[in-house]
Amino acid sequence: MKRIAVVGGRGFVGGELLRLLVHHPEVEVTAVTSDTHAGRAVETAHPPLRGSGLRYGRREDLEPADLIFLAGVHGSTAKILDDTAALAPKIVDLTADFRLADAALMERYYGWRRDGEHAAPFVRGLPELHREEIAAADRVAVPGCMATSAILSLAPLAARGLLRDIDVDARTGSSGSGASSGDANSHALRSGVMRVFAPFGHRHEAEVSEALGVAASMTVTATPQVRGVQTLAKVDVGEVSERELLGMYREDYAKEPFVRLVNSPRGTYRYPDPKVLLGSNFCDVGVVVDGRGKALVMGSIDNLMKGAAGGAVQCMNLMLGLPETYGLTFPGLHPV
Ligand SMILES: NC(=O)c1ccc[n+]([C@@H]2O[C@H](COP(=O)([O-])OP(=O)(O)OC[C@H]3O[C@@H](n4cnc5c(N)ncnc54)[C@H](OP(=O)(O)O)[C@@H]3O)[C@@H](O)[C@H]2O)c1
Protein backbone atom coordinates (compact mmCIF):
# COMPACT_ATOMS: atom_id res chain seq x y z
CA MET A 1 0.00 0.00 0.00
CA LYS A 2 1.24 3.48 -0.86
CA ARG A 3 1.30 5.99 2.00
CA ILE A 4 -0.62 9.17 1.26
CA ALA A 5 -0.91 12.41 3.25
CA VAL A 6 -3.39 15.25 2.71
CA VAL A 7 -2.53 18.81 3.74
CA GLY A 8 -5.63 21.01 4.03
CA GLY A 9 -7.93 18.10 4.81
CA ARG A 10 -10.57 20.22 6.55
CA GLY A 11 -11.68 21.94 3.32
CA PHE A 12 -14.17 20.78 0.72
CA VAL A 13 -11.48 19.50 -1.63
CA GLY A 14 -9.64 17.77 1.22
CA GLY A 15 -12.88 16.04 2.23
CA GLU A 16 -13.42 14.74 -1.29
CA LEU A 17 -9.83 13.55 -1.51
CA LEU A 18 -10.29 11.56 1.69
CA ARG A 19 -13.63 10.12 0.52
CA LEU A 20 -11.86 8.77 -2.57
CA LEU A 21 -8.68 7.65 -0.83
CA VAL A 22 -10.20 5.68 2.06
CA HIS A 23 -11.86 3.31 -0.43
CA HIS A 24 -8.92 3.17 -2.84
CA PRO A 25 -7.55 -0.39 -3.15
CA GLU A 26 -3.84 0.49 -3.31
CA VAL A 27 -3.30 3.43 -0.94
CA GLU A 28 -3.68 4.21 2.75
CA VAL A 29 -4.12 7.65 4.25
CA THR A 30 -1.36 8.02 6.81
CA ALA A 31 -1.93 11.67 7.75
CA VAL A 32 -4.44 14.50 7.31
CA THR A 33 -3.66 18.01 8.46
CA SER A 34 -5.69 21.01 9.57
CA ASP A 35 -4.39 23.85 11.72
CA THR A 36 -7.85 24.74 13.03
CA HIS A 37 -9.01 21.15 13.63
CA ALA A 38 -5.78 19.47 14.83
CA GLY A 39 -6.63 16.71 17.31
CA ARG A 40 -10.25 16.34 16.17
CA ALA A 41 -11.74 13.40 14.29
CA VAL A 42 -11.98 14.03 10.54
CA GLU A 43 -15.68 13.18 10.65
CA THR A 44 -16.34 16.40 12.58
CA ALA A 45 -15.69 18.25 9.32
CA HIS A 46 -16.67 15.49 6.88
CA PRO A 47 -19.50 13.34 8.24
CA PRO A 48 -19.41 10.85 5.33
CA LEU A 49 -16.06 9.75 6.78
CA ARG A 50 -17.65 8.48 10.02
CA GLY A 51 -15.96 5.26 11.00
CA SER A 52 -12.78 5.98 9.04
CA GLY A 53 -10.80 6.47 12.25
CA LEU A 54 -8.93 9.40 10.67
CA ARG A 55 -7.87 12.27 12.93
CA TYR A 56 -6.43 15.66 12.02
CA GLY A 57 -2.82 16.38 12.86
CA ARG A 58 -0.62 19.42 12.43
CA ARG A 59 1.40 19.92 9.26
CA GLU A 60 4.59 20.31 11.31
CA ASP A 61 4.17 16.71 12.54
CA LEU A 62 3.86 15.09 9.09
CA GLU A 63 5.83 11.87 8.60
CA PRO A 64 7.35 10.77 5.27
CA ALA A 65 4.86 9.51 2.70
CA ASP A 66 4.90 8.26 -0.89
CA LEU A 67 2.77 11.14 -2.11
CA ILE A 68 1.36 14.29 -0.51
CA PHE A 69 -1.69 16.20 -1.71
CA LEU A 70 -1.62 19.93 -1.00
CA ALA A 71 -5.19 21.22 -0.70
CA GLY A 72 -4.61 24.42 1.23
CA VAL A 73 -5.56 27.93 0.19
CA HIS A 74 -3.90 29.77 -2.69
CA GLY A 75 -0.39 30.90 -1.78
CA SER A 76 0.10 28.17 0.82
CA THR A 77 1.90 25.66 -1.42
CA ALA A 78 4.70 28.04 -2.36
CA LYS A 79 5.38 28.56 1.36
CA ILE A 80 5.57 24.87 2.27
CA LEU A 81 6.95 23.35 -0.93
CA ASP A 82 10.47 22.75 0.38
CA ASP A 83 9.25 21.15 3.63
CA THR A 84 6.80 18.98 1.70
CA ALA A 85 9.38 17.90 -0.89
CA ALA A 86 11.63 16.72 1.95
CA LEU A 87 8.87 14.38 3.13
CA ALA A 88 7.59 12.90 -0.11
CA PRO A 89 9.05 12.20 -3.54
CA LYS A 90 5.75 13.07 -5.22
CA ILE A 91 3.43 16.05 -4.75
CA VAL A 92 0.01 16.80 -6.23
CA ASP A 93 -0.93 20.43 -5.71
CA LEU A 94 -4.53 21.64 -5.82
CA THR A 95 -3.85 25.32 -5.21
CA ALA A 96 -3.22 27.79 -8.01
CA ASP A 97 0.42 28.37 -7.02
CA PHE A 98 2.01 26.24 -9.73
CA ARG A 99 -0.71 25.95 -12.35
CA LEU A 100 0.76 28.55 -14.67
CA ALA A 101 4.13 28.00 -16.32
CA ASP A 102 4.42 31.60 -17.52
CA ALA A 103 5.80 33.82 -14.72
CA ALA A 104 4.42 36.98 -16.35
CA LEU A 105 0.90 35.51 -16.42
CA MET A 106 1.34 34.53 -12.76
CA GLU A 107 2.25 38.08 -11.85
CA ARG A 108 -0.61 39.57 -13.87
CA TYR A 109 -3.31 37.29 -12.46
CA TYR A 110 -2.02 36.61 -8.93
CA GLY A 111 0.19 39.59 -8.19
CA TRP A 112 3.33 37.56 -7.40
CA ARG A 113 5.86 35.60 -9.38
CA ARG A 114 7.85 32.51 -8.59
CA ASP A 115 11.58 32.84 -8.26
CA GLY A 116 14.47 30.54 -7.50
CA GLU A 117 13.43 27.10 -6.36
CA HIS A 118 9.80 28.17 -6.45
CA ALA A 119 10.01 28.33 -10.22
CA ALA A 120 10.31 24.51 -10.15
CA PRO A 121 8.12 23.14 -12.91
CA PHE A 122 4.88 21.31 -12.21
CA VAL A 123 3.17 19.28 -14.91
CA ARG A 124 -0.43 20.36 -15.69
CA GLY A 125 -2.66 17.74 -14.08
CA LEU A 126 -4.93 16.95 -17.01
CA PRO A 127 -4.30 13.30 -18.00
CA GLU A 128 -6.29 13.68 -21.22
CA LEU A 129 -3.66 16.15 -22.51
CA HIS A 130 -0.53 15.22 -20.52
CA ARG A 131 -0.82 11.55 -19.56
CA GLU A 132 2.78 10.50 -20.14
CA GLU A 133 4.26 13.61 -18.54
CA ILE A 134 2.11 13.09 -15.44
CA ALA A 135 3.12 9.42 -15.18
CA ALA A 136 6.78 10.49 -15.20
CA ALA A 137 6.36 13.55 -12.96
CA ASP A 138 7.19 14.16 -9.31
CA ARG A 139 5.13 17.37 -9.16
CA VAL A 140 1.73 17.88 -10.68
CA ALA A 141 -0.58 20.92 -10.43
CA VAL A 142 -4.27 20.23 -10.94
CA PRO A 143 -5.99 22.97 -13.00
CA GLY A 144 -8.82 25.11 -11.65
CA CYS A 145 -12.33 23.69 -11.94
CA MET A 146 -13.71 26.07 -14.58
CA ALA A 147 -10.43 25.87 -16.48
CA THR A 148 -10.72 22.06 -16.53
CA SER A 149 -14.20 22.16 -18.05
CA ALA A 150 -13.25 24.84 -20.59
CA ILE A 151 -9.96 23.22 -21.60
CA LEU A 152 -11.37 19.71 -22.06
CA SER A 153 -14.39 20.94 -24.00
CA LEU A 154 -12.32 23.13 -26.33
CA ALA A 155 -9.12 21.07 -26.71
CA PRO A 156 -10.21 19.10 -29.83
CA LEU A 157 -10.82 22.40 -31.64
CA ALA A 158 -7.55 23.92 -30.42
CA ALA A 159 -5.63 20.84 -31.58
CA ARG A 160 -6.97 21.37 -35.09
CA GLY A 161 -6.29 25.11 -35.25
CA LEU A 162 -9.99 26.00 -35.12
CA LEU A 163 -9.74 28.38 -32.16
CA ARG A 164 -8.81 32.02 -32.27
CA ASP A 165 -9.74 34.29 -29.35
CA ILE A 166 -12.34 32.67 -27.13
CA ASP A 167 -14.89 33.97 -24.66
CA VAL A 168 -15.88 31.42 -22.03
CA ASP A 169 -19.12 31.82 -20.10
CA ALA A 170 -18.68 29.87 -16.85
CA ARG A 171 -21.26 29.09 -14.15
CA THR A 172 -20.26 27.76 -10.75
CA GLY A 173 -21.94 26.45 -7.62
CA SER A 174 -21.12 27.65 -4.12
CA SER A 175 -18.66 24.88 -3.14
CA GLY A 176 -16.25 26.33 -5.70
CA SER A 177 -15.40 29.04 -3.16
CA GLY A 178 -14.41 26.63 -0.41
CA ALA A 179 -15.63 26.01 3.13
CA SER A 180 -14.34 29.31 4.51
CA SER A 181 -15.73 31.70 1.91
CA GLY A 182 -17.21 34.93 3.15
CA ASP A 183 -20.65 36.54 3.50
CA ALA A 184 -21.47 36.45 -0.21
CA ASN A 185 -21.61 32.67 0.04
CA SER A 186 -23.88 32.53 3.08
CA HIS A 187 -27.16 30.73 2.40
CA ALA A 188 -29.19 33.94 2.68
CA LEU A 189 -27.12 35.74 0.06
CA ARG A 190 -26.27 32.85 -2.24
CA SER A 191 -29.57 30.99 -2.43
CA GLY A 192 -31.32 31.59 -5.74
CA VAL A 193 -28.63 33.84 -7.23
CA MET A 194 -27.52 34.26 -10.83
CA ARG A 195 -24.75 36.67 -9.86
CA VAL A 196 -22.06 37.73 -12.29
CA PHE A 197 -19.05 38.09 -10.02
CA ALA A 198 -16.26 38.14 -12.59
CA PRO A 199 -17.33 39.92 -15.78
CA PHE A 200 -13.78 39.72 -17.15
CA GLY A 201 -10.35 38.71 -15.97
CA HIS A 202 -11.14 35.66 -13.82
CA ARG A 203 -7.90 33.88 -12.94
CA HIS A 204 -8.93 30.64 -14.63
CA GLU A 205 -8.87 32.39 -18.03
CA ALA A 206 -5.08 32.50 -17.75
CA GLU A 207 -4.98 28.71 -17.45
CA VAL A 208 -7.27 28.32 -20.47
CA SER A 209 -5.08 30.67 -22.51
CA GLU A 210 -1.92 28.87 -21.57
CA ALA A 211 -3.28 25.36 -22.05
CA LEU A 212 -4.96 26.01 -25.41
CA GLY A 213 -2.48 28.54 -26.79
CA VAL A 214 -5.13 31.19 -27.59
CA ALA A 215 -6.24 34.42 -25.93
CA ALA A 216 -9.11 33.54 -23.61
CA SER A 217 -11.50 35.65 -21.63
CA MET A 218 -13.82 34.22 -18.98
CA THR A 219 -17.02 35.54 -17.43
CA VAL A 220 -18.10 33.78 -14.26
CA THR A 221 -21.61 33.63 -12.80
CA ALA A 222 -22.40 32.29 -9.33
CA THR A 223 -25.39 29.94 -9.47
CA PRO A 224 -27.46 28.51 -6.61
CA GLN A 225 -26.49 24.85 -6.57
CA VAL A 226 -23.77 23.57 -4.20
CA ARG A 227 -21.70 21.58 -6.71
CA GLY A 228 -21.24 21.85 -10.43
CA VAL A 229 -19.49 23.86 -13.12
CA GLN A 230 -20.67 24.49 -16.65
CA THR A 231 -18.68 26.31 -19.32
CA LEU A 232 -20.01 27.52 -22.67
CA ALA A 233 -18.06 29.05 -25.56
CA LYS A 234 -19.18 30.12 -29.03
CA VAL A 235 -16.60 29.41 -31.72
CA ASP A 236 -16.55 30.39 -35.41
CA VAL A 237 -16.10 27.13 -37.28
CA GLY A 238 -16.96 28.34 -40.82
CA GLU A 239 -17.88 25.49 -43.12
CA VAL A 240 -17.07 22.71 -40.67
CA SER A 241 -20.24 20.70 -40.05
CA GLU A 242 -21.58 19.43 -36.75
CA ARG A 243 -20.99 15.89 -37.95
CA GLU A 244 -17.32 16.67 -38.62
CA LEU A 245 -16.94 18.37 -35.25
CA LEU A 246 -18.49 15.42 -33.43
CA GLY A 247 -16.08 13.17 -35.30
CA MET A 248 -13.15 15.18 -33.93
CA TYR A 249 -14.41 14.82 -30.36
CA ARG A 250 -14.99 11.09 -30.81
CA GLU A 251 -11.50 10.67 -32.24
CA ASP A 252 -9.87 12.47 -29.32
CA TYR A 253 -11.98 11.19 -26.46
CA ALA A 254 -13.27 7.73 -27.46
CA LYS A 255 -10.70 6.00 -25.25
CA GLU A 256 -10.77 8.49 -22.38
CA PRO A 257 -12.25 6.93 -19.24
CA PHE A 258 -13.59 10.21 -17.85
CA VAL A 259 -14.58 12.34 -20.85
CA ARG A 260 -17.92 11.67 -22.54
CA LEU A 261 -19.39 13.27 -25.64
CA VAL A 262 -23.02 14.22 -24.99
CA ASN A 263 -25.18 15.21 -27.92
CA SER A 264 -28.53 13.44 -27.98
CA PRO A 265 -31.22 14.26 -30.53
CA ARG A 266 -33.99 14.03 -27.94
CA GLY A 267 -34.74 13.68 -24.25
CA THR A 268 -34.17 15.82 -21.20
CA TYR A 269 -30.39 15.34 -21.04
CA ARG A 270 -29.36 16.31 -24.57
CA TYR A 271 -26.26 18.30 -23.60
CA PRO A 272 -23.71 18.33 -20.75
CA ASP A 273 -25.41 19.05 -17.42
CA PRO A 274 -23.44 19.17 -14.17
CA LYS A 275 -26.41 17.94 -12.15
CA VAL A 276 -26.04 14.41 -13.49
CA LEU A 277 -22.31 14.36 -12.70
CA LEU A 278 -22.43 15.03 -8.96
CA GLY A 279 -19.91 12.88 -7.12
CA SER A 280 -18.49 11.46 -10.36
CA ASN A 281 -15.17 12.08 -12.07
CA PHE A 282 -16.67 12.62 -15.52
CA CYS A 283 -16.31 15.67 -17.71
CA ASP A 284 -19.18 15.72 -20.20
CA VAL A 285 -18.51 17.74 -23.34
CA GLY A 286 -20.78 18.65 -26.24
CA VAL A 287 -20.81 20.68 -29.44
CA VAL A 288 -23.69 21.89 -31.59
CA VAL A 289 -23.68 24.20 -34.65
CA ASP A 290 -26.20 26.82 -35.72
CA GLY A 291 -25.89 26.32 -39.50
CA ARG A 292 -24.33 29.77 -39.92
CA GLY A 293 -20.74 28.93 -39.06
CA LYS A 294 -21.04 29.15 -35.28
CA ALA A 295 -20.55 26.29 -32.82
CA LEU A 296 -21.58 26.23 -29.18
CA VAL A 297 -19.05 24.20 -27.15
CA MET A 298 -20.21 22.94 -23.75
CA GLY A 299 -18.42 21.38 -20.79
CA SER A 300 -19.73 20.20 -17.40
CA ILE A 301 -18.10 18.71 -14.32
CA ASP A 302 -18.50 18.30 -10.58
CA ASN A 303 -16.03 21.00 -9.50
CA LEU A 304 -14.95 19.03 -6.42
CA MET A 305 -14.38 15.84 -8.44
CA LYS A 306 -13.00 16.16 -11.99
CA GLY A 307 -12.38 19.83 -11.16
CA ALA A 308 -10.29 19.04 -8.06
CA ALA A 309 -10.08 15.86 -5.95
CA GLY A 310 -11.09 13.37 -8.65
CA GLY A 311 -8.67 14.83 -11.16
CA ALA A 312 -5.99 14.81 -8.47
CA VAL A 313 -6.54 11.11 -7.66
CA GLN A 314 -6.47 10.32 -11.39
CA CYS A 315 -3.04 12.00 -11.51
CA MET A 316 -1.93 10.15 -8.37
CA ASN A 317 -2.83 6.82 -9.97
CA LEU A 318 -0.68 7.66 -12.98
CA MET A 319 2.22 8.93 -10.86
CA LEU A 320 2.22 5.77 -8.74
CA GLY A 321 1.93 3.43 -11.72
CA LEU A 322 -1.59 2.30 -10.73
CA PRO A 323 -4.59 1.81 -13.04
CA GLU A 324 -5.83 5.30 -13.84
CA THR A 325 -9.45 4.66 -12.88
CA TYR A 326 -8.83 3.14 -9.43
CA GLY A 327 -11.10 4.72 -6.83
CA LEU A 328 -12.89 6.84 -9.42
CA THR A 329 -15.58 4.71 -11.02
CA PHE A 330 -18.58 5.99 -9.04
CA PRO A 331 -21.06 7.00 -11.76
CA GLY A 332 -22.88 9.77 -9.87
CA LEU A 333 -26.36 10.00 -8.34
CA HIS A 334 -29.65 10.43 -10.12
CA PRO A 335 -31.94 12.04 -9.25
CA VAL A 336 -30.33 14.21 -6.62
N1 LIG B 1 -13.57 24.24 -4.14
C2 LIG B 1 -13.33 23.90 -5.40
O3 LIG B 1 -14.24 23.63 -6.20
C4 LIG B 1 -11.92 23.84 -5.88
C5 LIG B 1 -11.69 23.33 -7.17
C6 LIG B 1 -10.37 23.25 -7.63
C7 LIG B 1 -9.34 23.69 -6.82
N8 LIG B 1 -9.60 24.19 -5.59
C9 LIG B 1 -8.47 24.63 -4.79
O10 LIG B 1 -8.24 23.66 -3.78
C11 LIG B 1 -7.77 24.29 -2.60
C12 LIG B 1 -8.70 23.92 -1.45
O13 LIG B 1 -10.00 24.38 -1.80
P14 LIG B 1 -11.24 24.17 -0.85
O15 LIG B 1 -12.44 24.53 -1.61
O16 LIG B 1 -11.16 22.86 -0.17
O17 LIG B 1 -10.94 25.31 0.23
P18 LIG B 1 -11.46 25.37 1.75
O19 LIG B 1 -12.70 24.55 1.87
O20 LIG B 1 -11.51 26.81 2.10
O21 LIG B 1 -10.31 24.65 2.57
C22 LIG B 1 -9.02 25.20 2.64
C23 LIG B 1 -8.13 24.29 3.44
O24 LIG B 1 -6.86 24.91 3.52
C25 LIG B 1 -6.42 24.89 4.89
N26 LIG B 1 -5.56 26.04 5.05
C27 LIG B 1 -5.90 27.30 5.35
N28 LIG B 1 -4.80 28.09 5.37
C29 LIG B 1 -3.74 27.28 5.07
C30 LIG B 1 -2.33 27.48 4.94
N31 LIG B 1 -1.80 28.68 5.11
N32 LIG B 1 -1.54 26.40 4.63
C33 LIG B 1 -2.08 25.18 4.42
N34 LIG B 1 -3.42 24.94 4.54
C35 LIG B 1 -4.23 25.98 4.86
C36 LIG B 1 -7.71 24.87 5.66
O37 LIG B 1 -7.61 24.20 6.90
P38 LIG B 1 -7.25 24.79 8.30
O39 LIG B 1 -7.62 26.26 8.22
O40 LIG B 1 -8.06 24.05 9.28
O41 LIG B 1 -5.79 24.52 8.40
C42 LIG B 1 -8.60 23.99 4.82
O43 LIG B 1 -8.35 22.64 5.11
C44 LIG B 1 -7.75 25.79 -2.87
O45 LIG B 1 -6.47 26.20 -3.21
C46 LIG B 1 -8.71 25.92 -4.05
O47 LIG B 1 -8.43 27.01 -4.86
C48 LIG B 1 -10.86 24.26 -5.10
CATH number, domain containing residue 94: 3.40.50.720
Both 138 and 11 in a single domain? yes
User: Which residues, given as ranges, of the chain have pLDDT below 70?
Assistant: 115-120
Asked if 266 and 321 touch (Cβ cutoff 8 Å), the reply is no
**pLDDT for 182:** 83
Let me know if 315 is a catalytic residue. no
* 8 Å CB contact between 220 and 173: no
- Specify if 325 maps to a domain: no
Rounded to whole angstroms, how far apart are CA atoms 69 and 17? 9
Burial class (CB in 10 A: 0-12, 13-18, 19+), 169: middle
CA of 175 to the centre of ligand 1 (A): 11
Counting atoms of ligand 1 from 1, which one is nearest the CA of 177? 1
Name the closest-CA residue to atom 2, ligand 1: 176
pLDDT of residue 118: 60
pTM for this model (two decimals): 0.97
Verify that 102 and 116 share a domain, yes or no: yes
pLDDT of residue 193: 94
Burial class of residue 302, CB neighbours in 10 A (0-12, 13-18, 19+): buried
Q: Which sign, positive or negative, has the C-alpha torsion 242, 246, 249, 252?
A: negative
- The Cα–Cα gap between 330 and 278 comes to 10
- 153 and 127 inside one domain: no
Pocket of ligand 1, beta carbon within 6 A? 7-14, 34-37, 71-74, 76, 94-96, 144-145, 175-176, 178-180, 303-304, 307-308
132 shares its domain with 203:
no
Span from the CA of 26 to the centroid of ligand 1 (angstroms): 25
Which one is catalytic: 17, 27, 145, 312? 145
Q: Do 285 and 175 fall into the same domain? A: yes
293: left (phi over 0), alpha (psi -120 to 50) or beta: left
Task: For residues 28 and 91, state if they share a domain.
Answer: yes
120 and 250 belong to one structural domain: no
User: Does some domain include residue 24?
Assistant: yes
pLDDT at 220: 98
Q: Which of 208, 219, 209, 233 is nearest to 151 (CA)?
A: 208
In single-letter form, the type of residue at position 149 comes to S
Q: How far is the CA of 72 from the centre of ligand 1 (A)?
A: 4
Identify which of 40, 54, 73 to mutate to test ligand 1's pocket (most ligand atoms within 8 A of the CB). 73
Give the structural domain span for 108. Answer: 2-143+306-319
Write the single-letter amino acid at 79.
K
Instruction: Output the residue whose Cα is nearest ligand 1's atom 36.
Output: 8
**What is the number of other CB atoms lying within 10 angstroms of the CB of residue 113?**
15
Closest CA to 187 of 197, 173, 198: 173
pLDDT (0 to 100) of residue 121: 85
Q: Which is the closest atom of ligand 1 to the Cα of 9?
A: 43
pLDDT at residue 183 in the model: 85
Residues 6+ apart with CB under 8 A from 267: none
Instruction: With respect to residue 174, please indicate whether it lies within any of the assigned structural domains.
Output: yes
* Residue 294 confidence (pLDDT): 97
Instruction: Answer yes or no: do 98 and 194 share one domain.
Output: no
